[in-house]
Structure 1
């Protein structure tokens, strides 16, 4: 049962007016009416007698109000308890992709520990596809990844965007001239996992046979660390966020390549359930959002960017 619907029921019982209730809850009269209708359908009774000017509780509505007020009060107390940094000592399960692990994730964990020092954190690092699967099964409370999770009572927060660049080892002796896709096709391509967003981009970019007469060799790898290692060893070229290879760029074990076709940025998103079962998840997602934004502001446009809109 949606706690917001019960809260709407309680306020309508107090104010006895759809317009005033909508204003109090910062929503529309239609939304208030829809929530009440949903509750009445769930309970199988009419909660209000409606007139042109005001509404009044039915006998069944009066009985339901006692329980609704108790549940709303309990949820309010729970939220207050969750906001007590020293008291909260629960467990949160976070799924995260490697591109975040290798960039601003340590800063995020530091902030999270400072905010909730007694919070126990369980971390799963995997591909976006696998994280979505675990999230849908209820095995994760929050996922930090590259695609929005679409579903009922799921919220998505834009974190930041990572520009993607083609890179290669000096061992390949590629040079500094501007390369075409046909030039890139001469080398083995080291790609993110199959069916991932970056992998789909690579397939789309090279799908036009007129751009390259060469046979393209795409090697799909689920581990970002392995991708970077293979690239530095000269196995092939890869498209990755410069945000995760700063050490390799500084040590010149990898070089940014000049390519005439832009690779779309990697958009990072925090997804969590918004059904009030665990209100802490939104707070943690907001901390991730703040950390990602600070990372983008500190490192600059070539490394990370603020998303088009921050929810």
Structure 2
């Protein structure tokens, strides 16, 4: 019988070695030892009477047959997940989700997403990384993340991608500074103060610098921050005006600590996406992508 020859653990080890690149990394991901992973792969190769992987000084490469069987291996692992889902036993899916998010997501709707994800997969372990979007994208491309909740633009096209709600920008200042700047709409008046905004490489910062160059504004007044949350105490203290995503400052605007400023120019909204590598991701990653889209549905 096949059950005495091939196990799901062996197939899982095979897929994880390919995805992580080494036996050691696969062992870490699966919570076991490198010799155990090696044993599972060897037993699988023996049972199938094929060589799946070339071992080269710490790295691995798929054989031609291994490449063919990897596709079927992923199908079998996904079918196992589908069986548990059909039986309503998602709690038996005890995997990990390597999740990368930008700071804006972490500060706004991440908690709601994680709550719904836990309801669907009670025993799913989430390993969270919060970073700049370009860093998250690189880790996703390299296979070091399973799912990315991030804003574009992107350097590569993910095989699994779902558009999320856009994040509009708003000009804000504390009450004293807002009163001083009231009565006008020209963005030029903001450049009499410090202008707080995103890190220099972001699309909003580039658009702001392009505007300054076109209109002759003093770009030296622009203060960049790689941590958006660091802008909040500065703008609250009246150190300048700020160009920030509206959702980040919604609570401060609601309770009156910050005021929105009229302006004849605003940066284009941030376009957010849930992204994953659909060709190798387990079913629960695709489901997590759908949950993100339910929390932040894209506008039609």
TM-score normalized with structure 1 length: 0.67
Aligned to 1:178: 184
Displacement of 1:152 in angstroms is: 6.2
- Over the aligned positions, Cα root-mean-square deviation in angstroms equals 2.7
2:299 corresponds to 1:307: yes
**1:81 shift after superposition:** 4.7
Q: Give secondary structure in 1 for the equivalent of 2:160.
A: strand
Q: 1:77 to 1:167 in 2, by over 3 A?
A: same
SS at match of 1:157: strand
Q: Which residue of 2 aligns with 1:144?
A: 149
The match for 1:93 among 93, 98, 107 is: 98
Structure in which a larger fraction of residues adopt helix: 2
Contact 1:81–1:88 at 8 Å: present in 2 too? no
Structure 1: distance between partners of 2:160 and 2:201: 23
| Structure 1 equivalent of residue 293 of structure 2 | 289
What SS is found at the alignment partner of 2:271? strand
Cα gap change, 1:273/1:264 in structure 2, threshold over 3 Å: closer, same or farther? same
Contact 2:113 2:295 in 1 (8 A): yes
Q: 1:72 to 1:137 in 2, by over 3 A?
A: closer
Q: Give SS of 1:162's match.
A: coil
The alignment's TM-score, normalised by the length of structure 2, stands at 0.69
Residues 30-64 of structure 1 show CA distances to partners (whole Å, capped at 9, x for unaligned) of xxxxxxxxxxxxxxxxxxxxxxxxxxxxxxxxxxx
Query: 1:153 Cα deviation (Å)?
Result: 5.4
Instruction: State the partner residue of 1:59.
Output: none
Deviation at 1:271, TM superposition (A): 1.1
2 CA distance for matches of 1:230 and 1:106? 25
SS of equivalent to 1:93: strand
Question: Is the contact between residue 168 and residue 268 of structure 2 (CA under 8 Å) also seen in structure 1?
Answer: yes
Please report how far the alpha carbon of residue 180 of structure 1 lies from its aligned counterpart in structure 2 after TM superposition: 1.2
Q: Is the 8 A contact 2:137 2:154 kept in 1?
A: yes
Distance across 2 between alignment mates of 1:239 and 1:152: 29
CA contact (8 A) 1:82 1:280 kept: no
Whether 1:159 and 2:164 are equivalent positions in the alignment is yes
Match among 274, 278, 291 for residue 270 of structure 1: 274
Q: Does structure 1 residue 106 correspond to structure 2 residue 139?
A: no
Partners of 1:76 and 1:168 lie apart in 2 by: 51
- The answer to whether the 8 A contact 1:82-1:279 is kept is no
1-structure distance, mates of 2:81, 2:153: 26
Unaligned ranges ≥5, structure 1: 1-65, 294-305
Correspondence 1:1-311 to 2 at 5 A: 71=73, 74-81=76-83, 83=85, 84-147=89-152, 149-151=154-156, 154-172=159-177, 173-210=179-216, 212=217, 214=218, 216-293=220-297, 306-308=298-300
Structure 2: how far apart are the matches of 1:89 and 1:195?
A: 38
C-alpha contact 2:212 2:219 (8 A) present in aligned 1: no
Contact 1:154 1:272 in 2 (8 A): yes
Displacement of 1:82: 6.3
* Distance (Å, rounded) in 2 between the aligned partners of 1:275 and 1:102: 30
